[in-house]
Amino acid sequence: MSDSKNNTIHILPLSLYLSIGSILLVLTAITVWVGVSFDFGPINLIVAMLIAATKATLVALYFMHLKYDSKVYLSLFIGGILFLAIFIVFTMLDTMRRQDIYEIKGTPLNNMAEMYQGLSTVDSISDSTDVSTDVSTIFTDTIQTDTTQQSSDIKID
């Protein structure tokens, strides 16, 4: 037995499509205007996602006809979107907070590389256990020497 009310054809007026399309254009303009003109600080992403979710809801309900179709399809669609959102949130929680867990220290791959030639502390790099401190000291000393030389070359009249 087939249920005839689930298979009914629904025809929407053109004015409804044009009004939904114009609402989507206005929401797009609001998205651009908010992105360029305002800085909401940490809630910028939340504002952008609320506007995008509103636009996606309008598209799903009217252009994909989920509003007039069986509620099973609507619940499957919403369930899929919710699971996608959960996976994205957990991924972002993991990737955005990694610097709090791991202390990343850089070490040179080759202590005798050409970029270290001529520096007096190269020997201390190969002998020390804390390489990252020595390398940062070398680069800091090099940068300070370069800025001192540049400032001595500038003459003010």
Q: Which pLDDT value is given to residue 2?
A: 46
Report the number of distinct structural domains present in the chain. 2
Q: What percent of the chain has pLDDT over 90?
A: 24
pLDDT tens readout for residues 143-152 = 555 555 555 5
| Residues 79, 125 share a domain | no
pLDDT tens readout for residues 11-22 = 889 999 999 999
- Kindly report the average pLDDT of the chain as a whole number: 76
Domain membership of residue 54 (yes or no) is yes
Q: What percent of the chain has pLDDT over 70?
A: 63
Q: Of 18, 19, 54, 16, nearest to 34 (Cα)?
A: 54
Domain membership of residue 157 (yes or no) is no
Q: Of 141, 69, 71, 130, nearest to 105 (Cα)?
A: 130
Domain membership of residue 120 (yes or no) is yes
Domain membership of residue 106 (yes or no) is no
| d(C-alpha 137, C-alpha 109), whole Å | 17
| Residues 89, 21 share a domain | yes
Tokens encoding 131: 């390489």
| Residues 125, 53 share a domain | no
Angle, CA 59 vertex, CA 19 and CA 47 arms, to 5°:
95
| d(C-alpha 30, C-alpha 47), whole Å | 11
Domain membership of residue 108 (yes or no) is no
| Residues 62, 38 share a domain | yes
- Where helices occur in 97-121 by DSSP H, the ranges are 98-101
Return the CA Rg of the chain: 30
Write the CB contacts of 34 (distance below 8 Å, at least 6 apart in sequence).
40, 47, 48, 51
Domain range enclosing 18: 14-101
Domain membership of residue 4 (yes or no) is no
Confidence tier at 122 by pLDDT (50, 70, 90): very low
pTM beyond cutoff 0.75: no
| d(C-alpha 49, C-alpha 62), whole Å | 20
pLDDT tens readout for residues 8-50 = 777 889 999 999 999 999 999 999 988 888 888 878 888 888 8
Domain membership of residue 93 (yes or no) is yes
Domain membership of residue 85 (yes or no) is yes
